[in-house]
Structure 1
């Protein structure tokens, strides 16, 4: 028994000495690394060779702090995409342990599913966010290790592994500073800290009030949503009635985002024929189709590093919807006629006034695209829900008109403002702007804008009989049908003028179908768009 005890102690002492010797060799290998990249690759090799882990990944936060990347790999992971557990661990500032079988069924991130697809379902995945162990405490990256649950816990919870992890983090931080990365890391941490504070968001909302006017509760909630949307890289879906300012909100999201210095490309999907829309978005190479005399970049390529805004996306053809979905999921696209795919790093903002859920039921819009676009949904309030903002909007539109037309400053009276607050606005803010432009144009120089300068609901507040009386001497009427036709033509002409030739809005304000209005315009030879 005594001899056996001595043999056991000697064996343990020998194993301990061997482990310490291996630890010294590991530390020496790490210390000899000259760059952060070399250190990460060496760390993974040691964990596989000496620690016995079969699956190891070491990811680093790139220079601008927006991506987690792997050395010698093209794939990048968005730090704001919380669906991926690596990004979630960084933002939560804590390690995670996942059972792979459960993770495969619950987590829907395609890159994560691809990376762990071939790993045994009974394994566990340990995710360790790595942070500098000095006074700066900047984030470095993520270490992910998978293996048998018992083996994983035994090794990773040991003091030796904690010492190994500490050494890696200290060396990584030192090498980062030596290679010029430290200043970028510190700047990133300071920027993220400022962005996430309440004061920073309040400041951004105040700056945004210059472009998104109003102090109502509805508009303040909207500005708060825009700030939150700008903090992420998620796809944004703007919904709301026509004329509520979706284009202005899209530009604000871009301006206050990390991509604010990048390009902002916009297109109205309803304004371009289906045959040309694909080329506008994806571009084409020379000879791709008849008339393609030279290659041309599409808006997706032009928006690389910035934002692409697709207005009226509800009118996009189904075939293009499928191609757009692939771009959103993979970041890759193929120009017309090209043989190889290309990559674009862009943020997508889409807008529509149409009820997309109803279009999905009618099989005119893809449900998978709708859910992909709606990662960050924003609904813009109609003007009737923010009537308190009408005076501020009206005065801003007056100033804009005077600046644009070179007129002396105009003032709108309180009586005119009261009349504006009592109106209905099917065209929302756009209708209010057109109304103010009309009133400014009708106001003589040097006079305030009063109620008489404002048209009534639509064009005139007069009754039909008053309008006929005002324009025609009723005693001279000899042909009633002709007089009615002339009055009807006058009303339609003025209504089209008011809505800048938009037959849809004009028809809605008159209470007739658009097709009926178009027929009357053709009969009366009225010039309209």
Structure 2
């Protein structure tokens, strides 16, 4: 259709003396690389060649409800007849009136702003622009302002008709091409996002081998770690003690672009204040008594890699100011040195302390807090991820067996239930220590049973009044509403305590309770104290 419009334009040029039929005009329009550029060139041609005071192409946006102007946020509702464009779009016919009449009859603020600087005696004409193909696609409207005689000549000018047809055909083609390019770009963007999403999910799945747990909280944390590792922002890990902040810090390093660089870590609470600055910044020879040789600090050693500052909340205020300067400028000065040095590192800090409260108490610098927390990560306590306890326990059992060269062992359902019910102020670290102890107390070839778990009987005893049966302590609930179940629980507690006392030896435990060994084994099975 565009070639046909060009042929029509060329034929008009041969049979008409209209200035709009000049071949350079067609070339100018055809060379437009976008619909917006075409509209601007067409308006410029009309102003310069025809001598119009104003010429402008408005476009119908995607939904067909609005007309827009290039480079302007003003929009014209196609159903609002307070401007002339709605009349033209609805009727499909050109509208001609004086600028004075337009000001009086049409009170749309955006339209009034278009014509406010024009003379009232000038004529205004709005023409509908529509591609004359099978779809009769609406493109927009053409606004022209000039002398009345000019429009009389244009109405009978075949060059204007050819110009308008060429404009519409080129506009429709460029709009379709732009739409296709936009769809292609959107498809490419969506594929990139899809690929990025798949890549990030693969990395998060890879992290599940180190950051254990399939709970929602842990899946969310692993995804956040992947996103944080893609940046070079300082990361602040916040969470209760024992939640695995050191593991998360190492995971951030391994997934980052600095993975081939060093990973240096220090616990700010474990080193005396007098030595911490030297450990971080290093010192020159003779910087203080006993400094017989120069020593690199962790900041220097972490150059090109990651520096992990655990328990950052315990860092002295004076040292906080020096650390802030390193983060902001990448420059530092070792103790006793005369020159500054540079370090390119990524900082990961961790704390279990409420830093905001420390800021209010003036024990921690607010500016350092915000600089450290460019990418904050909160680690969930074990109480919020109890579904992960079974997986964590089995992993810790496997680690113990490999470390101590023990045969593989499992854990009984009753022991797992006890683990699920426990409180863990020490979180995952406490669970690991608990499992290590239980593994050590479990006889070779047996599985971890409930009676070897430390602290259970003591906590039960503290919860309610104690009684003694043959020297064995057990607890009585305060609100008994099921005597049979209560007797079952008491019997279970007594047997667990007696088994623990004899290191799991059932023969000795049975003899101490005055029971045959077979009867004790049967009770252990009924009370789910053992899977055997």
**Equivalent residue number for residue 240 of structure 1:** 239
- C-alpha distance after superposition, 1:45-74 (max 9, x if no partner): xxxxxxxxxxxxxxxxxxxxxxxxxxxxxx
Q: How far apart in 1 are the matches of 2:333 and 2:276?
A: 14
TM-superposed CA distance for 1:469, in Å, is 5.8
Q: How far apart in 2 are the matches of 1:195 and 1:281?
A: 42
**Equivalent residue number for residue 25 of structure 1:** none
TM-superposed CA distance for 1:304, in Å, is 0.3
Please give the residue correspondences for 1:421-500 in structure 2 after superposition, counting only pairs within 5 Å. Answer: 421-457=420-456, 461-463=460-462
TM-superposed CA distance for 1:462, in Å, is 3.8
Please give the residue correspondences for 1:173-212 in structure 2 after superposition, counting only pairs within 5 Å. Answer: 197-212=196-211
Over 2 Å off, 4+ runs:
193-196, 456-474
Relative to the length of structure 2, the TM-score reads 0.51
- C-alpha distance after superposition, 1:227-286 (max 9, x if no partner): 001000000000000000000000000000000111000000000000000000000010
Matched, 1:390 2:379: no
TM-superposed CA distance for 1:455, in Å, is 1.8
Q: How far apart in 2 are the matches of 1:196 and 1:256?
A: 17
**Equivalent residue number for residue 347 of structure 1:** 346
TM-superposed CA distance for 1:413, in Å, is 1.1
**Equivalent residue number for residue 401 of structure 1:** 400
Q: How far apart in 1 are the matches of 2:315 and 2:207?
A: 30
**Equivalent residue number for residue 262 of structure 1:** 261
Q: How far apart in 1 are the matches of 2:439 and 2:207?
A: 27
Please give the residue correspondences for 1:29-44 in structure 2 after superposition, counting only pairs within 5 Å. Answer: none
**Equivalent residue number for residue 414 of structure 1:** 413
Q: How far apart in 2 are the matches of 1:468 and 1:270?
A: 44
Residues 436 and 235 of structure 1: CA distance in aligned 2, closer, same or farther (over 3 Å): same
TM-superposed CA distance for 1:377, in Å, is 0.2
- C-alpha distance after superposition, 1:302-359 (max 9, x if no partner): 0000000000000000000000000000000000000110000000000000000000
Equivalent pair of 1:285/1:336 in contact (CA under 8 Å):
yes
Residues 196 and 234 of structure 1: CA distance in aligned 2, closer, same or farther (over 3 Å): farther
**Equivalent residue number for residue 215 of structure 1:** 214
Q: How far apart in 1 are the matches of 2:268 and 2:246?
A: 13
**Equivalent residue number for residue 293 of structure 1:** 292
Highest CA radius of gyration, 1 or 2? 2
How many equivalent pairs are there? 283
More deviation in 453-462 or 315-324?
A: 453-462
Q: How far apart in 1 are the matches of 2:472 and 2:227?
A: 61
Q: How far apart in 2 are the matches of 1:279 and 1:462?
A: 50
- Aligned partner of residue 369 in structure 1, secondary structure: helix
- Aligned partner of residue 348 in structure 1, secondary structure: strand
- C-alpha distance after superposition, 1:85-109 (max 9, x if no partner): xxxxxxxxxxxxxxxxxxxxxxxxx
Q: How far apart in 1 are the matches of 2:279 and 2:355?
A: 23
Equivalent pair of 1:195/1:231 in contact (CA under 8 Å):
no
Q: How far apart in 2 are the matches of 1:412 and 1:360?
A: 46
- Aligned partner of residue 388 in structure 2, secondary structure: helix
Residues 198 and 273 of structure 1: CA distance in aligned 2, closer, same or farther (over 3 Å): same
Please give the residue correspondences for 1:495-510 in structure 2 after superposition, counting only pairs within 5 Å. Answer: none
Relative to the length of structure 1, the TM-score reads 0.51
- C-alpha distance after superposition, 1:164-197 (max 9, x if no partner): xxxxxxxxxxxxxxxxxxxxxxxxxxxxx79971
Structure 2: gaps spanning 5 or more residues: 1-191, 474-532
TM-superposed CA distance for 1:362, in Å, is 0.4
TM-superposed CA distance for 1:461, in Å, is 3.9
Residues 470 and 243 of structure 1: CA distance in aligned 2, closer, same or farther (over 3 Å): farther
**Equivalent residue number for residue 30 of structure 1:** none
Residues 410 and 331 of structure 1: CA distance in aligned 2, closer, same or farther (over 3 Å): same
Q: How far apart in 2 are the matches of 1:389 and 1:200?
A: 25
Q: How far apart in 2 are the matches of 1:447 and 1:371?
A: 52
**Equivalent residue number for residue 480 of structure 1:** none
Q: How far apart in 2 are the matches of 1:205 and 1:350?
A: 21
- Aligned partner of residue 444 in structure 1, secondary structure: coil
- C-alpha distance after superposition, 1:116-144 (max 9, x if no partner): xxxxxxxxxxxxxxxxxxxxxxxxxxxxx
TM-superposed CA distance for 1:415, in Å, is 1.5
Equivalent pair of 1:235/1:376 in contact (CA under 8 Å):
yes
Q: How far apart in 2 are the matches of 1:319 and 1:360?
A: 14
Equivalent pair of 1:384/1:425 in contact (CA under 8 Å):
yes
- Aligned partner of residue 197 in structure 1, secondary structure: helix
Equivalent pair of 1:455/1:461 in contact (CA under 8 Å):
no
Q: How far apart in 1 are the matches of 2:398 and 2:366?
A: 44
Residues 195 and 369 of structure 1: CA distance in aligned 2, closer, same or farther (over 3 Å): farther
Structure 1: gaps spanning 5 or more residues: 1-192, 475-529
**Equivalent residue number for residue 303 of structure 1:** 302
Please give the residue correspondences for 1:167-178 in structure 2 after superposition, counting only pairs within 5 Å. Answer: none
TM-superposed CA distance for 1:450, in Å, is 1.1
TM-superposed CA distance for 1:459, in Å, is 5.6
Superposition RMSD on alpha carbons, in Å? Answer: 2.4
**Equivalent residue number for residue 14 of structure 2:** none
